[in-house]
Structure 1
Amino acid sequence: MNMHFSTRLALLLISILISGCMTSGRVAPEAPFERAADGRRIGFHEMLTDLRTSRVVFIGELHDNPSHHQLQLEIIKWLHRSGAKITVALEMFRAQNQGYLNMWINGDLGVLEFMNQYRNNWTLPWELYDSIFLYARNSGIPLLALNAPDNIMQKVYRQGFKALTQEEKRFLPPDVSCSVDKPYMNFIRRNFVWHSNDEATFIHFCEAQQLRNKFMAYTLSDYLDRNPDRVVVVVTGVGHAMRRGIPDELASIKPMQVKIVMPFLHELAAESLQKGDADYLTRM
């Protein structure tokens, strides 16, 4: 048995084990989902049936919460098994590293090599996302890298959007600007429980978050234009998944059917959410 086949077989077995664990009741059909429009409690499958009608499904996460990633995987699996041609779009990878995602899905990159690329793009533990990556690979589901170049984002965090040079802006969407409205700033302040008294630092942070929204929306829109038959599931943090994040930026480029699933947040952040920020809320 050659090494390449052994690796693929190991991945398949891991995927089967994960699949068995993930469907053994940890996300039950009676899971506590709330439809934001009317506050009605609904079951998992009723929500999924509605999500199936959308071109883009955003599933927000608190990055370090394993149950949020479990829910993301379950939705991905259900949509895939329903016959939808899905792509999973990831905040966790910068767009310039799309090639590594392609190699992973095509079986041209081993687990250790892909783990290294993941860690070059994202700082949180691999184990939070590995089941999604493995399921996508073993199911042939394309992965899309969404995030902006790190050097540009770090400069905005430190100095603000105005500090970017024209050369640096070449790597951003055409004619991009970076205005942040007060409701979005208020959500960020509460969600991140901002304690610093340095208002300039906070504004720069908000600008960076908004710039990520714009960049990821542009990347997503471009992919959807080139792949009109795909349904895209977007795995990203709550500040980007909420309506005022990527979805509104995407709508400004090209209106389309979008659904948003968000976790309930801590009290301070929840107070700053607006009714239209999500279609479904979950207490997972």
Structure 2
Amino acid sequence: MKPTANGPRTVSASDLLDRLARRPVVLLGERHDSASHHRWQLATLQALQARSPDLSLALEMVPRRLQPVLDRWVAGSLEERAFLDALDWPAIWGYDVDLYLPILRFARDRRLPLVALNVERRLVRRVRAEGFAAVPVSEREGVGPAAPASAAYRALLHRLWQHHPFVPSSGQGVPGQEDPSFGRFVESQLLWDRAMAEAIADQRRRRPGAPVVALIGNGHLAGGHGVPHQLQALGLKEVDWLLPWEASLGCAPLQPGLATAVYGVVSPPPAGLRLGVYLETHGGRVEIQQVAPGSLAERSGLRVGDGITAIDGQPVSSARQVIEWLAAHPVGRPLGLTLRRDGRLLRLQLALPGL
């Protein structure tokens, strides 16, 4: 489905894949802890590789210093356990490796070149604390200055920034976009976007005739503000990005420019309660990204941008934890939600009629 100015338009998956296989760069979004998103990525990757066998696969999950480990894995010189140990997956990424293993095995079996896209988290934290200009060039891991963020991206990042624990408190609400701390936060996000874009561009220069397919979190792709914007600033104008879209959300929230196309995916319903929200995890925070029309969440007043901090008094730090708590929630008992909204904590008791 393609979001257009006249509303979403359904397109043939086969026709779309035929076109994408001829493009130099295709970016596949994900929610990092969603099994259905990773299954969609694998199916899309398989379809693209069947049409363009020489493509490379680039990974947000892996910092650049571990490129030799990826090379050895693809060459078949590392067994799986040794490969994961060499990556130290829990330290570099932290999300369930079983969600990614089918993709990594496919790349090895097809001998697809793998490309590490990321920088070290400590560099991102340093830029967030000090600003990009304060980091010596020799300590920037080769990343150059980013193209400035658009006004729309800054507005989006400001909304996300409000929920971070390091936001300064002035006693007068959340600081505005002119706050220096927010400026450094934007620079840290741009560093991330730019690093991935430069690594993709470098791979295109090394293998000019071969497409690059990259797996990157939705937040770096939606609206084209993040990695696509940086790629275009680097001269790569033909960039497409696809987003997985929970079918339960429907088409109403789709906006023009959100993505080249979105693919409807169906996540297995939990055994218990469903709120009707699309969640993402950002640095130990669970944020509502979409609210399904007519859902329990909409009827209860939940909003896009709300952060879920606790369920029934128990702290949660990932979307998966929220899903598991909802699945285990006792039938017929009100659901206690603690939300962070605009810098304030809200405690709600959701009545669950019909359960």
Please report the TM-score for the alignment, with normalisation by the length of structure 2: 0.63
Q: After the TM superposition, which of the residue ranges 219-228 and 199-208 deviates more from structure 2?
A: 199-208
- Aligned-residue identity in percent: 28
Select which of 125, 134, 148 maps to 2:105: 134
- Equivalent position SS for 2:127: helix
Select which of 223, 232, 237 maps to 1:251: 232
Query: 2: distance between equivalents of 1:119 and 1:238?
Result: 21
- Once the two structures are superposed, residues 131-184 of structure 1 have per-residue CA deviations (whole angstroms, 9 ceiling, x without a partner) of 100111111111110112333112123333243134323x2334x157433311
| Higher normalized contact order (CA 8 Å, seq sep 6+, divided by chain length) | 1
Select which of 183, 205, 208 maps to 1:225: 205
Query: 2: distance between equivalents of 1:214 and 1:114?
Result: 27
Partner of 2:185 in structure 1?
205
Partner of 1:172 in structure 2?
142
Distance verdict in 2 for CA 1:178–1:221, change over 3 Å:
closer
- Equivalent position SS for 2:128: helix
Partner of 1:36 in structure 2?
3
- Equivalent position SS for 1:188: helix
Count of paired positions: 246
- Counterpart of 1:252, as a letter, is A
- Once the two structures are superposed, residues 205-238 of structure 1 have per-residue CA deviations (whole angstroms, 9 ceiling, x without a partner) of 3321111111111111111011012111110011
Query: 1: distance between equivalents of 2:106 and 2:146?
Result: 37
For the Cα contact (< 8 Å) 1:217–1:246, is it kept in 2? yes
For the Cα contact (< 8 Å) 2:21–2:52, is it kept in 1? no
**Alignment map for 1:120-131 (pairs within 5 Å):** 120-131=91-102
Bigger share in helix:
1
Q: After the TM superposition, which of the residue ranges 202-211 and 74-83 deviates more from structure 2?
A: 202-211
Unaligned runs of 5+ in 2: 169-174, 266-355
Q: After the TM superposition, which of the residue ranges 185-194 and 228-237 deviates more from structure 2?
A: 185-194
Please report the TM-score for the alignment, with normalisation by the length of structure 1: 0.77
Partner of 2:216 in structure 1?
236
Larger Rg belongs to: 2
Q: Check if 1:159 corresponds to 2:130.
A: yes
For the Cα contact (< 8 Å) 2:22–2:211, is it kept in 1? no
Measure how far apart 1:71 and its partner are: 0.9
- Counterpart of 1:75, as a letter, is T
For the Cα contact (< 8 Å) 2:24–2:239, is it kept in 1? yes
Measure how far apart 1:50 and its partner are: 2.5
Measure how far apart 1:48 and its partner are: 1.5
Query: 1: distance between equivalents of 2:186 and 2:92?
Result: 21
Q: After the TM superposition, which of the residue ranges 44-53 and 61-70 deviates more from structure 2?
A: 44-53
Partner of 2:83 in structure 1?
114
Partner of 1:149 in structure 2?
120
Partner of 2:260 in structure 1?
279
Unaligned runs of 5+ in 1: 1-33
Bigger share in strand:
2
Query: 2: distance between equivalents of 1:40 and 1:274?
Result: 11
Select which of 97, 101, 106 maps to 2:66: 97
RMSD: 2.6
Query: 2: distance between equivalents of 1:250 and 1:79?
Result: 20
Measure how far apart 1:70 and its partner are: 0.9
Query: 2: distance between equivalents of 1:179 and 1:251?
Result: 12
Query: 2: distance between equivalents of 1:85 and 1:189?
Result: 40
